[in-house]
Amino acid sequence: MIVKEDFEIKNLTTYKIGGKVKTVFLPETQSEFTELLREHKDAIVLGSCSNILFSSNGYNGEVIVTTELKQFEIRGTHVFASCGVKGPMLAQKTAEAGLSGFEFMIGFPGSVGGDVCMNAGAHGQCISDGLTQCCLFDKETNEVVYKKKDELDFSYRHSLLKDGRYVLVHAEFELKKAPHEEIKSLIERNLEFRKNIQPSLATPNAGSVFKNPENDSAGRLLDKAGVKQFDLPNAKVWENHANFIVNKGNATSEDILTLMVMMYNAVKKQYTIELEPEIILFGDLTEKEEELWNILSR
């Protein structure tokens, strides 16, 4: 198992933001992972760090990162994937096997654990569509348990795992056979959409900043509220899509939170709608960060 002390977590986050973490564990097997969860009950569990903002103030605690848990298997139409398997890779491998259902993940930098936790989705597909059951670690009982799809409380950007009691170890799916050309066409269309509408990861970002309100689009509301003009010295709202913030190079977590509050207030003022953050905040927050986050998480 890889263990790192005083680790700069910004080296792992897609925002390229985050201070020093006291201890980071990178388990390589599911048994190592579950043993860590038993022994380090207060550790933060992270995957690809693609939809998170980690405080530039760091974290004087322990973090378990699942990126080395890469095991997956395809048997017929059944797919078994550990929590650390990257979504784009899984989309490619299932496409090669003539299986449809994961095409939407081709443009997501996330891993299976985070994708299941937040019920990630795009282009009319979501990860819960083909999910059959999950192997979970129960932090209350310290046991590994299995739960079927109908026990996982899936809804828009939500699952039972968001409540914190359960941590995904691996997930099982049943996908549908489809012609290779259909799958390839859908993957290419999704990649083209991402290229045109969303910033590439070469420009540090953490994906959509706010969740879509019911029957509306956060991007549309933000655009109409004029947030594309919001530009700080080290971070800005992306000019091609109003629901993305990009790190211009030396942004801090406070910079990102400041922009988020500006965006939130602009929509609230114009539409009396209070957007809910899709980005998750971690770390030892400064007083200013707590003040900003409290505005966003009322």
pLDDT tens sequence across 77-91: 999 999 999 999 999
Give yes or no for residue 277 having a pLDDT over 80.
yes
**Rounded distance, CA 240 to CA 235, Å?**
15
The arithmetic mean of pLDDT across residues 22-35, rounded, is: 98
pLDDT category at 123 given cuts 50, 70, 90 is: confident
Q: Are 222 and 263 in contact (CB under 8 A)?
A: yes
Task: Check 82, 159, 208, 253 and give the catalytic one.
Answer: 208
- Strand order of the β-sheet with 143-148 is 72-75, 78-82, 166-174, 131-138, 143-148
Task: Check 8, 68, 274, 278 and give the catalytic one.
Answer: 278
Does the domain at residues 218-296 carry the CATH identifier 3.90.78.10?
yes
Give yes or no for residue 256 having a pLDDT over 90.
yes
**Rounded distance, CA 228 to CA 188, Å?**
28
pLDDT category at 124 given cuts 50, 70, 90 is: confident
Closest CA to 264 of 216, 230, 214: 230
Task: Say how far residue 127 (Cα) sits from the centre of its chain.
Answer: 12
Q: Read off the pTM.
A: 0.93
- Establish whether 208 is a catalytic residue: yes
CATH class of 2-65: alpha beta
**Rounded distance, CA 284 to CA 124, Å?**
37
Q: Which of 6-10, 121-125, 206-210 has the lowest mean pLDDT?
A: 121-125
The arithmetic mean of pLDDT across residues 68-74, rounded, is: 97
Task: Check 62, 128, 157, 172 and give the catalytic one.
Answer: 157
CATH class of 72-195: alpha beta
pLDDT category at 72 given cuts 50, 70, 90 is: very high
- Establish whether 254 is a catalytic residue: no
The arithmetic mean of pLDDT across residues 146-171, rounded, is: 96
Predicted pLDDT of residue 137 = 98
Domain parsing of the chain, residue ranges:
2-65, 72-195, 218-296
Give yes or no for residue 262 having a pLDDT over 80.
yes
Predicted pLDDT of residue 196 = 80
